[in-house]
Structures are given as C-alpha cells and as structure tokens.
Structure 1
Amino acid sequence: MTGSLAGIALLWLGLILPDRAAEIAPGALAVFPLELPPVLLGLMLLRGRALTAARLLLAAVLVALAALRGADIAAYAAFARPFNPALDGELIPAAARLSAGTIGTPLTLLLCLALAAAILGLGLALWWAAGRVARLGPARGRARAGLAALFLLALVPPALALAGRPAPLGDARATRLAAEHLRDTLAARADLARFRREAARDPYAATPPAAILPALAGHDIFVVFVESYGRTALENPLYRPATEARLAAAEGELARAGLAARSGWLTAPMIGGQSWFAHGTLLSGLRIDSQARYGALIASPRLTFPRLARRAGWRSVAVMPAITLAWPEARYFGYDTVLVAKDLGYRGEPFNWVTMPDQFTLASFERQALDPAPRPPVIAEIALISSHAPWTPIPPLIPWAEVGDGTVFDRWATTGESPEVLWRDPEKVRAQYGRAIDYALATTFSFAARRAGTAPLLIVLGDHQPAEFVSGGIGGQDVPVHVIGPPELVDRLAGWGWTPGLRPAAAVAPRPMAAFRDRFLAAFGPGS
C-alpha cells in the first residue's frame, strides 16, 4: 500500500508542476490536479498489453510535459514568453553554446548529462508509479463496472476546466498546458504562411538606384547594434544615473566634433536574446520574432537595407564579432564584405563568451573597411557584444592608438569575478549589466566623434531589452535609438518627433522596429 501511495503522489506532482518560476512554491503543489482521478481509475481498469501501453504513454506524456514546463520557465525568464516547440528549436543548441562560452564546455557537458539523467530517471519513476497504482484495481465483477463508470464521470471536471468553466475542486493545469502549446503551434504555422505572403511584397523592389537614399550620397552609414541596450538603461533607477551621465557627456563630445543627434524609441520584436531577430527586423522592415520567420525571410525576395544601399553604390559590410560558426545567411542580407570573429584579427584573450571588446571590433572595422583609399561610401551593420551576458569582465575605454592587435586587453580579460561566481548574486549581475552598457556606449560615441571628419551617419540602437530579472520589467520591449551625423542630415528627421540629443524623452511615442527601414528610406529619399 505504501508503494501505491508513493506512486499516486508522484503522478500528482507530474500533473501539477508549474511552468513559471514565480509559481514554484509549496502552495502550488497543494492544488488538486483534476486529471488525477481519470488517470488513476484508467490505470486500475487496464490489464496486460493495454496496461503496458498506457504506462508507456503516460510516462512519455508526463516527461514531455515536464520538459515543456522547464523550457517555459527558461523562456519566461529570458524572453518573457512561453516556449513554442514549432518556433524555438534553435534555442536549445544556442543555449548550449552560450553556456559553454560562459561557464566552460566541461561544466556544460556535465549539466547536459545531468539533465538527460534526470529525464530518464523521471520516466522510469513514472513508469513505476503507474504500475503501483494499477495493482489497486479490482480483478473482476461489479467492482470493475463501477470503476469504469467512475472513470467516465472523472473525465467531466478536466473537460470543463479546459473549456474555461470554473473548477473549484482543483485545476487541469497539465491538460491546459498541452492545449495551449498545441494552439500556439497551430497559430504559428498559420502566421508563417501569412508572413511568407507579406515578405514576397516589397514596396522598394522596383526602386531605381538613383532614388535610393540620394540625400546620403557620398556619406558612410553605420548601423550599430548595442547588445542588450534596452529602455531600462535609461529608466530603471539602478542604471539611469550612469546612463544619463554617459549620454550627457557624449552629447558634448559629439557637438564639439560637429555632429548632431536625435533620439527616440523602437519596439523590438523580442526580449532577452536572439539578437538576429532584431537585426533582421530593422534591415528588412518586417517583424521577425521567431526562427521560423527568420528562415522564411532568408528564403524570400525581400530587399534588406544593405542590399538596397549596395544597389545605389554603397559598399556593404557586416561586422559580427560574435559569429564563430558558418553564417550562410550573410548572402541574403547582401554584404560585399563579412567580418566575423576570425576575420577581425583579434589576438587577445576572450572575455568569457564575448570574443573581443567593442573597442577592438570598431578599430578593426575602421582599419579594414574605412581606411583603404580610394573607396566608395560604406554601409555597415555592426554588432557590439561587450554588453552581452555574462557581463564580466569589462575593459576600460583606452586610447584608440593603443588598441593594436588586441593583446593590450589581456590585462583585463581575467579580472573580476568569474561568471560562475557572479551569477550566484542577482544584485551583482545587475550592477555588471549597468557597467557593460556604460562601456559599450562610451566606446560607440567615442568612435562616432573619431569619425566625425568623414561626415558619417550613425544609427545606434539596442537590439533588445535584457532579461526581465535584469530590466526589472521596466521599459517593456522598447530600446533607445540614436541617429548621429552632420546637422543638416539629422535635421531631416525633425518631423519624426524625436528628441534632439542622445536622451529620448519618455513621452516620445515608440515605433515598431519593423517600421524603421521604410521611414528612413523615405526621409533620405528623393523629394523628402
């Protein structure tokens, strides 16, 4: 009898476990799972091969639901949304790569093995629990007929709960979780079909070269994504003082260099990670919020910002210091030159996951793409990654003449606390995030002032907000965006309602990041 009670308790837990970290509490486990009675009665009724099949199916379903709950907990913590099996498969290897770069490959392998062992152990435990419960069933006669009637009656409460009817006796959490993920999967497929139709239509597809950005003819254009630079950096009391001070100081530095700026807010398609979605969104003018949409974009005829500019005479360059693997998508975006981690020439030590400091990234881009002469104007997409988690260590901004091959940064590459130590303390993590953003902004604006004599136009923006435990839920999905350049060029955005300078007013209405491409092309187009 003790074994059967233990089996019932294990099945209870398998059915009632929450899918959000905030709900992991003793009280959550006290909720009665409405699926438990039909599960128990069904096991008691079955015999022979039917029982074996039912035990296998039950164990497999509950293990899958447990894995789905774990994925949901991670997705809510990182991206403030549930995991979608149809869209988020790429997150699993991406998480493994990030973990290997943060805490090391051996520890990541141990964690993966521990997770696999836990899943196997859970499956075996549930198989055993189902078998112990089955022993409680009567062998024959009226008792089995009564049990069958009770089984049919026990199906009613979870069915009502699934239909949205109140169920005061408990909750059909597992059934609802499965139904919601099935609904989201089907909705994702329908959304993808709509997206493919949208991507096939591009209002700029037939635009002649002379009508593409004529107001910027001869000027370099730099699209600079600052990793995890979200609205929280300007509005969260933890980060606002340092960020405000940095932006105020940069305004003076840029003004002395003869540059002007206007700033606003863009609403990114995601939170916490998957930066390539933001890149694809801004450059294509379409909202990319899933790997499926990203893949459909790559397969579409949609013209990206770099491809359009290249058509009009710019040389297009991608600067991607975080990319260490093959990047076949670069062909779609239309780059003449691609500088990934191995191409940038960094000879220093990596900063944990961060392959090289932002200052080296910009210095290498300058040497390779901007210094050679003569050359056509350059349009570049630049991803700065020093403000990517784990935010340790953080180098200082040094004189540009000292950057060299990057070995000068070795003195800081192993300083400070390791990620394993730092990430045990959320307060320290938040403090390091603020310092990393400050470094990334200082480096970016110093580079802008350094290039002022060549009259470039810079679009500096965050790719997404950091994870919610860092942002504090402040700022939603908004990121700051700054357009910096010669005053006569920046003034063309006067009608956008953006704030002059680098500190966007809170009252400025955020625009979808997907709207930027077409608005920018219109602002610097013919007759604008």
Structure 2
Amino acid sequence: MSETLAESTSPEAEATVGDGPPRSRPSLRARLGRLREQHPVAARNIRWTVNVLAALLVLGALLLPNKVTHLHAREFVRIPVEAILGAAVALVLPRRPRLAVAVVSGVALGVMTIMNLLDMGFNDYLGRPFNPILDWELLNDAQSYISDSMGSAVAVGAAVGAGVLVLLLLSLMTLAMVRLSGLLILDRRTATRGTLVAATVWVTCSALGLQVFGTPLASEHTASLTAIQAKQVVQTVRDEAAFEKVAKVDAFGNTPGSQLVPDLRGKDMIFTFIESYGRSAVEDKGIAPGVDKTLATSTAALAKAGFHAKSGWLTSATYGGSSWLGHSTTLTGLWIDNQQRYRTVMASNHLSLTRAFKKTGDWDTVGVMPGVQKGWPEQQYYDLDKVYNAFQLGYQGPKFSWSTMPDQYALEAYQRQVHSKKRDKPLMSEIILTSSHQPWAPIPKMVPWDKLGDGSIFKPIQKAGNKASDIIADSTRSKQEYGKSISYSVTSLTQWLERYGSADTVLVFLGDHQPIARVSGENASRDVPISIVAKDPKVLDKIASWNWTDGLKPAHNAPVWKMSSFRDRFLTAYGSTPHPSKG
C-alpha cells in the first residue's frame, strides 16, 4: 500500500495525471524551431553570422601563408581556386557523398592549417619548413626549451593551448565545410551561376597575371603547399636510403691511427662550439659593434699571452637551432641537415674528428656538455672517454634561462676537473658553450676567476638580469642581448685560454649556427665564424694555404666552406693519410 502511494505521488506519476497519454519533452530541433518562430530577426542574424564566419574560416585557411613575414592583408583578398573546385564538386554530388566529402575536406583543411602554423614556427626559428616525417620529435624539444626559458607553467599552458587549438581547428573547419556545402544546394541554380562566374574571374586573373599590391589575385596556394609537402615526404624517404650509402664512404675510414693527425702529436686539442655564434654577430650593424670590439680586444690579449689565431667562415648545415646537426656536420665531414641523417650517422662507424684522435691511441678524449641534462648515447659514437653533463660539473648557482650554467663557470670546472690533472697523454676535448642560447635573457657577467667557487656568485647577477618574456618577442632587444651574450661567451673562452693555455694548447672554436631569423634577418646567410688559436707557430703555418684572416674576426671576403668540408681539410692539413672505406 505504501509503495503504491509512493508511486502515485512521485514526480513521474504526477506528470501523467490528467487526460490522455504522458507528454514527452520536445526535441532540441523543435525547441530551436520554436525560438526561431518567436525571434525571427535574431534567428536570421545569427544564421547569417554563422554562415559568414564559416566562409571566412575556410577562405582564411585556404589563403593562410606558411611564413610569419607573409602575413599581410593582401594575402587574404585573393580568389582561391580550391574553393571554386570544392563548390563545383558539392553541387554535383548527392546528399550523402556530398556530406562525406565535406567532412573529409574539412579535416584535411584543418590538418593543412596546422601544418601551415608549424611551418610558420619552423621558418621563423629554424629557417626551413616543418618536415612531416622527421620533425615531430622536435616538438618535445620545443616544449623543453619553453620550460627551461620561461618556466614549467608556461610550457604546460602552451602545450594545453596547442592541443585545444588543434581540436578546434579540426572540428570547426569540418563543421564549416559541412555548413557551406549545405548552403550551396539550397539554391543550386544561383550557386552554379556564382561558381561559374568565380571560375571565369579566376581564369581571367590568372591568364592576365592580375595582382593586388604585388600579390596575384588568382590563388592556388593550398594546392601548391600540399604538393610541396608531398614532394618533401617523397624526398625524405629517398634521402634516407641514399644518405645511408654516403655515410659508409669515408676518405679516412681505413686510415691507421698512426697516420692520423701526426703533426698534432703532443698538443692539447680543444674543439669548442659557441651556441648561435653566426655571421650576423660579426657583420650585422645592429649587433656587430659590440662583438667586433670583443674580438679585437680578445685578439690583442691573446697575442700578449703569446697566442695567435686565423679565422674563416663555414656554412652551417642548420639555422636557428638543432645545434647537434652543426656539431655532427663539423666533426664527421658529412652534411647532416636533418634528424634522420643524424640518427643514421650516430649508428654508423663513420670517422669523426674526436674518434680520429682517440684512434691514434695518443690522446685521452673528454666532452664537456653543460647543456646535456639526460642520457647522451652519442658519447659512444664520438668515442669520448668521459662526458661531463650539467650535473657533473659541481655547479650550485642559478640557471640562466635555458643555459644550465654560465660559460665562465663551465670552463673553470673543466680546468679544475679535467685540464689541470696530470696525465700520461695529451687531452682532446669537445666543449659546448651554452650562455649564448636564445632567448638571451638573463645573461651572465664575467666575475673574478678565483671567486667562481660553486657558482653561487651568479645568483644576484641572474636575479638582476632581464626576464626571458621581456626579450623573446622583441626583435630589437633580442638583437642587443644576443650580441651581449656572444661577447660574454667569447670573452669567457679567450680569458680561459690566456689564464690556463700552454705552449701545447690548440683551440678550435666556431659557431654551430646563426641565431633565429628574428635576430639574424629573413635572408641571412648560414655562415658561422671559425678560428684556430695556438702558441706554436707551426700549427698555424700548416693552414697558411687556407687564406684565413689573421686574428679572431674573419674578413668579409675570407674563404667560405661548407661545414662538412672542415673535417677532411683539417685532417689533411695536419698530416693525415687518406685510406678510403667504401662501405
């Protein structure tokens, strides 16, 4: 009885009281229809707004350039042939195939938009478009860079924002394409006439070469970019197989250790890469004055200490980033301009300069890598006896944005832990200096060498420095701070050499790549300076035929070589005998 009473007074039971069957809730479509009837003007305005936004979204995606420097209003007033072809297809297809094509086209256009945005970032930072085969793993490096430069919260926010943007682009582009395809068939006759008119105008503009502010009115932008991406994929696949064969051929692959660099026996060899030290640092009017003054001052100071130098140019295999490609190209004599080539070489037996010194049996080999914060399996390929990473140099001071420690400290730690130790053999060292890594804020300052300690002295310097967020988006300030960072790195290295170098020290130092386009310029070269410094005049006499410039600053017209040519020229200059291996 109580159960029956409870049922009769429940909300569901009350809903059925009265004459006739229970009333169901109206559907969403019915409710929207009722709202349209009640507010016809507002409904019409919303409908037109949605239609216009859908059209603008699709047209914007079809005309979106893949370089930040091309983002101009004139790019978006052109006539995209892809829109005309899409309208023609939608008009001839039945409902279901039309809907399927609209969905697929929307997803494809969303993907293409994402690729264009990636191209923008890669062109701006690395001077090349995004490679859909090789570059996905670099996105993790980008997130790590943001985390190290601007904090983990910003990095997480950027990752979440990127994910949301991808989902929005794919979904909104698909919905827009479906809506526009539906609009076309509401009045097929008018839509067909409009499509024919648009096609005629496009053909006319294309044939006559009509332009708006220097940009062709007739656009086939998306089709061209799609073709370029497809070609890039094919070339990447072919390059992988071809380069594997190239990497097996080595002019010095079978050279016995006794015939490698005999003219450098007994010398302490130091190969040092300075991050982002490019030609722009020496020749760009907005950067060069401070750097050139540092180079002149350092050249004079080294000469007073008995050291002399010769300098030239190398054209780097990379630009704006991916420093490891520049390092490996210099040391292997192979043109390593992408990640696949890098992996291929690291898995090979191709002779690197570091391995050449190790192969002689007359040098101990060591790497100082303050930028390495995790496992570094490349140590095996480069044949380094010991590698000191960011956690093995005893640093207790603050990070300077991406750079884990100031270059001055890293060099002093190298001196304390490695270079000053007594040993039976001379030392061959590879040192990577990181203080000139973007975003160039905050930048360390030189402190007395005998007060470096554990690096705590840099805390107030780091605290008083610029914030990365204040520099990273400002081209003018980025140039200024970049120049200061290069001056700091060069000063740290040359002062270390003055302080600790001996009659048997030979220093080879160079840049790994130019800084990003925002600093070096849109059409900057890929050249980087390289210098060889020694006290023993015989060392520099061996490269007299290279016609390099005396001092640390290479002349504008000094020889320019591909970075991949340096290994063989260096080995030959210092007496190595070629014994080729052919795979």
Common fold: TM-score over 0.5: yes
User: Distance between the aligned counterparts of 1:526 and 1:118, measured in 2?
Assistant: 55
User: Distance between the aligned counterparts of 2:393 and 2:488, measured in 1?
Assistant: 20
- Find the residue that maps to 1:343 and give its secondary structure: coil
Tell me, yes or no, if structure 1 residue 249 matches structure 2 residue 289: no
Q: Report how far residue 90 of structure 1 moved.
A: 2.6
User: Distance between the aligned counterparts of 1:503 and 1:339, measured in 2?
Assistant: 30
Which residue of the other structure, out of 515, 540, 544, is the alignment partner of 1:490?
A: 540
User: Distance between the aligned counterparts of 2:123 and 2:577, measured in 1?
Assistant: 46
Tell me, yes or no, if structure 1 residue 390 matches structure 2 residue 439: yes
Q: Is the 8 A contact 2:111 2:170 kept in 1?
A: no
Q: Is the 8 A contact 2:517 2:524 kept in 1?
A: no
Tell me, yes or no, if structure 1 residue 521 matches structure 2 residue 571: yes
Equivalent AA in structure 1 for residue 304 of structure 2: R
- Find the residue that maps to 1:224 and give its secondary structure: strand
User: Distance between the aligned counterparts of 2:577 and 2:374, measured in 1?
Assistant: 43
Q: Is the 8 A contact 1:32 1:169 kept in 2?
A: yes
Give the corresponding residue for 1:263: 311
After alignment, is 250-259 or 271-280 more displaced?
250-259
Give the corresponding residue for 1:308: 356
Give the corresponding residue for 1:8: 55
Number of residue pairs matched by the alignment: 522
User: Distance between the aligned counterparts of 1:221 and 1:277, measured in 2?
Assistant: 22
Q: Report how far residue 475 of structure 1 moved.
A: 5.2
Q: TM-score, normalised by structure 1?
A: 0.93
- Find the residue that maps to 2:80 and give its secondary structure: coil
User: Distance between the aligned counterparts of 1:411 and 1:510, measured in 2?
Assistant: 42
1:46-85 matches, within 5 Å, as 46-85=93-132
Q: Report how far residue 307 of structure 1 moved.
A: 0.8
Which residue of the other structure, out of 504, 508, 525, is the alignment partner of 1:476?
A: 525
User: Distance between the aligned counterparts of 1:88 and 1:316, measured in 2?
Assistant: 32
Larger radius of gyration: 2
User: Distance between the aligned counterparts of 2:492 and 2:65, measured in 1?
Assistant: 43
Give the corresponding residue for 2:271: 223
Q: Report how far residue 467 of structure 1 moved.
A: 1.0
Give the corresponding residue for 2:561: 511
Give the corresponding residue for 1:401: 450
Equivalent AA in structure 2 for residue 509 of structure 1: P
Q: Is the 8 A contact 1:90 1:291 kept in 2?
A: no
User: Distance between the aligned counterparts of 1:437 and 1:122, measured in 2?
Assistant: 40
Q: Is the 8 A contact 2:277 2:486 kept in 1?
A: yes
Q: Is the 8 A contact 2:79 2:202 kept in 1?
A: no
1:171-186 matches, within 5 Å, as 171-186=219-234
Give the corresponding residue for 1:41: 88
Tell me, yes or no, if structure 1 residue 276 matches structure 2 residue 324: yes
Give the corresponding residue for 1:111: 158
1:392-413: CA deviation from partner (whole Å, max 9, x where unpaired): 1122212222112111111212
Tell me, yes or no, if structure 1 residue 464 matches structure 2 residue 513: yes
User: Distance between the aligned counterparts of 1:217 and 1:365, measured in 2?
Assistant: 22
Tell me, yes or no, if structure 1 residue 288 matches structure 2 residue 336: yes
Q: Is the 8 A contact 1:44 1:133 kept in 2?
A: no
Unaligned segments of structure 2, at least 5 residues: 1-46, 211-215, 579-583
Q: Report how far residue 338 of structure 1 moved.
A: 0.8
- Find the residue that maps to 1:302 and give its secondary structure: coil
Equivalent AA in structure 2 for residue 19 of structure 1: N
Return closer, same or farther for 1:54/1:175 CA change in 2, 3 Å cut-off: same
- Find the residue that maps to 2:145 and give its secondary structure: helix
Unaligned segments of structure 1, at least 5 residues: none
Q: Is the 8 A contact 1:258 1:452 kept in 2?
A: no
Q: Is the 8 A contact 2:407 2:435 kept in 1?
A: yes
Q: Report how far residue 488 of structure 1 moved.
A: 2.0
Which residue of the other structure, out of 366, 388, 392, is the alignment partner of 1:343?
A: 392
Q: Report how far residue 219 of structure 1 moved.
A: 0.8
Q: Report how far residue 198 of structure 1 moved.
A: 1.0
Give the corresponding residue for 2:27: none
User: Distance between the aligned counterparts of 2:524 and 2:153, measured in 1?
Assistant: 37
Equivalent AA in structure 1 for residue 56 of structure 2: A
Equivalent AA in structure 2 for residue 409 of structure 1: F
User: Distance between the aligned counterparts of 2:288 and 2:66, measured in 1?
Assistant: 32
User: Distance between the aligned counterparts of 1:301 and 1:133, measured in 2?
Assistant: 57
Q: Report how far residue 127 of structure 1 moved.
A: 2.2
User: Distance between the aligned counterparts of 1:6 and 1:435, measured in 2?
Assistant: 47
User: Distance between the aligned counterparts of 2:323 and 2:238, measured in 1?
Assistant: 24
User: Distance between the aligned counterparts of 1:396 and 1:207, measured in 2?
Assistant: 45
1:395-436: CA deviation from partner (whole Å, max 9, x where unpaired): 221222211211111121222221112224321111111110
Give the corresponding residue for 1:453: 502
Provide the aligned C-alpha RMSD in A. 2.6
Return closer, same or farther for 1:375/1:516 CA change in 2, 3 Å cut-off: same
Q: TM-score, normalised by structure 2?
A: 0.84
Tell me, yes or no, if structure 1 residue 193 matches structure 2 residue 263: no
- Find the residue that maps to 2:249 and give its secondary structure: coil
- Find the residue that maps to 1:453 and give its secondary structure: coil
1:10-29 matches, within 5 Å, as 10-29=57-76
Tell me, yes or no, if structure 1 residue 379 matches structure 2 residue 428: yes
1:332-365: CA deviation from partner (whole Å, max 9, x where unpaired): 1111111111111111111121100001111111
Percent of aligned pairs with the same amino acid: 32
Q: Report how far residue 47 of structure 1 moved.
A: 4.4
Q: Report how far residue 143 of structure 1 moved.
A: 6.1
Q: Is the 8 A contact 2:313 2:530 kept in 1?
A: yes
Q: Is the 8 A contact 1:17 1:28 kept in 2?
A: yes
Q: Report how far residue 439 of structure 1 moved.
A: 0.3
Q: Report how far residue 526 of structure 1 moved.
A: 5.4
Q: Is the 8 A contact 1:269 1:513 kept in 2?
A: yes
User: Distance between the aligned counterparts of 2:127 and 2:478, measured in 1?
Assistant: 18
User: Distance between the aligned counterparts of 1:301 and 1:504, measured in 2?
Assistant: 34
Give the corresponding residue for 1:327: 376
Give the corresponding residue for 1:355: 404
Q: Report how far residue 452 of structure 1 moved.
A: 2.5
Q: Report how far residue 165 of structure 1 moved.
A: 11
Return closer, same or farther for 1:494/1:199 CA change in 2, 3 Å cut-off: same
Give the corresponding residue for 2:79: 32
Equivalent AA in structure 2 for residue 79 of structure 1: L
Tell me, yes or no, if structure 1 residue 240 matches structure 2 residue 240: no
Give the corresponding residue for 2:19: none
1:282-322: CA deviation from partner (whole Å, max 9, x where unpaired): 11000111011101111222011111110112111111111
- Find the residue that maps to 1:225 and give its secondary structure: strand
Tell me, yes or no, if structure 1 residue 423 matches structure 2 residue 472: yes
Return closer, same or farther for 1:526/1:76 CA change in 2, 3 Å cut-off: closer
